[in-house]
Chains A and B, each alone.
Chain A
């Protein structure tokens, strides 16, 4: 499981889960005045969030249920480990977002398996699709499951804890030679959705492919992402959460904080560090330090955002 030595087998399952949780070396980030600052490793970070209650939500991404290649022969198993970690958190988050690539090949059984494991968190989950969730012939499995109440290919918004959340879809209608794509219809909807919103209301945009240009050579960016960012420019606090690149990357630009999450399935190389963005094979002992979940904490009435990245194992 976690690779940690628990000594005798008299250790209860609960104890094992606790050990897995605290073995993580996740970092709490607090962002004050546009400058990210690390507050320490997961133990003190968790304590800090507990001491300063705000709205907490979790981000999980790129589960790739169905993936079984050497980089991780059991993607469903590591998703389950992530879910165990979530269930062992001392304070239950308000809800969870999943930033896409739930499945590897959009097969019905893969969606079923993912749902079976993720539902064990008993959390409300808000999804956006990754390109891997949209490859069944009629592109209907994702939409039948998660598309209810959404617009177009699955975009939507909701309010929680005084924050306006917007789930965007940038994995359809991709053009040869291009990057991720939102499209005119979705951008028009976004403009409409934001109309009349108070500029002091924090906004969280989430989508699968990064909305900012991370590395165009590997398609890591969104063609018209800049147009979406233009529309949220006037807001005091904007957070952009993505997946797709299977590694943590953060950037602060004015009032906008960008953050990509780890995968729960397999790591991918840093931009340009390998011949391709394909799955990265690492030593088995190291795999879990490169997979994980992110939890985000909002402190009411403060322009401050704390992101705790929790690898499956430190």
Chain B
């Protein structure tokens, strides 16, 4: 488990402050924005239904690097532990995606 030390606390405080400052401007969008976690080689949730204009952020919580790739649509860099990748969906449609390092890992974003 991660233990909280002073440095972490300092960072968290800094982020909280930044979030507080940014909140008014981004509030409307933030309500729509969604997250996908990678835990134990699985995209969670494996399928998301979202509205056009939504930003999805993937976070790798495994000790092994993963990628997020949708052929011809988007491709993340290799995400090491706790790295994030965000993509804003501006067109409706079904976006199948997978991890190019572990192709048995697949997910779907349905945009309407």
A132: chain B residues at CB < 8 Å are 65, 101
Q: Is A262 part of the contact surface with B, judged by Cβ < 8 Å?
A: no
Q: Say yes or no: A219-B40 contact (C-beta < 8 A), given A132-B65, A177-B98.
A: no
Q: Say yes or no: A219-B104 contact (C-beta < 8 A), given A177-B98, A278-B41.
A: yes
A179: chain B residues at CB < 8 Å are 103-104
B65: chain A residues at CB < 8 Å are 104-105, 132, 135
**Are A279 and B64 touching (Cβ within 8 A)?**
yes
**Are B104 and A70 touching (Cβ within 8 A)?**
no
**Are B71 and A176 touching (Cβ within 8 A)?**
yes
Q: Is B50 part of the contact surface with A, judged by Cβ < 8 Å?
A: no
A106: chain B residues at CB < 8 Å are 78
**Are A177 and B106 touching (Cβ within 8 A)?**
yes
Residue from A104, A105, A216, A278 within 8 A of B62 (CB atoms): A278
Interface size on B, residues (CB 8 A): 24
Q: Is B111 part of the contact surface with A, judged by Cβ < 8 Å?
A: no
A71: chain B residues at CB < 8 Å are 63
Q: Is A178 part of the contact surface with B, judged by Cβ < 8 Å?
A: yes
Nearest chain B CB to A312's CB is how many angstroms away? 20
Q: Is B77 part of the contact surface with A, judged by Cβ < 8 Å?
A: yes
Chain A facing B: main interface SS: loop
Residue from A104, A178, A275 within 8 A of B104 (CB atoms): A178
Q: Is A110 part of the contact surface with B, judged by Cβ < 8 Å?
A: no
Residue from A105, A216, A279 within 8 A of B80 (CB atoms): A105
**Are A176 and B40 touching (Cβ within 8 A)?**
no
A277: chain B residues at CB < 8 Å are 41
**Are B63 and A174 touching (Cβ within 8 A)?**
no
Nearest chain A CB to B11's CB is how many angstroms away? 20
Q: Taking beta carbons and an 8 Å cutoff, which residues of A are in contact with B? A: 69-71, 104-106, 131-132, 135, 137, 174-179, 216-219, 275-279
Q: Taking beta carbons and an 8 Å cutoff, which residues of B are in contact with A? A: 40-42, 62-65, 67, 69, 71, 77-78, 80-81, 96-98, 100-106
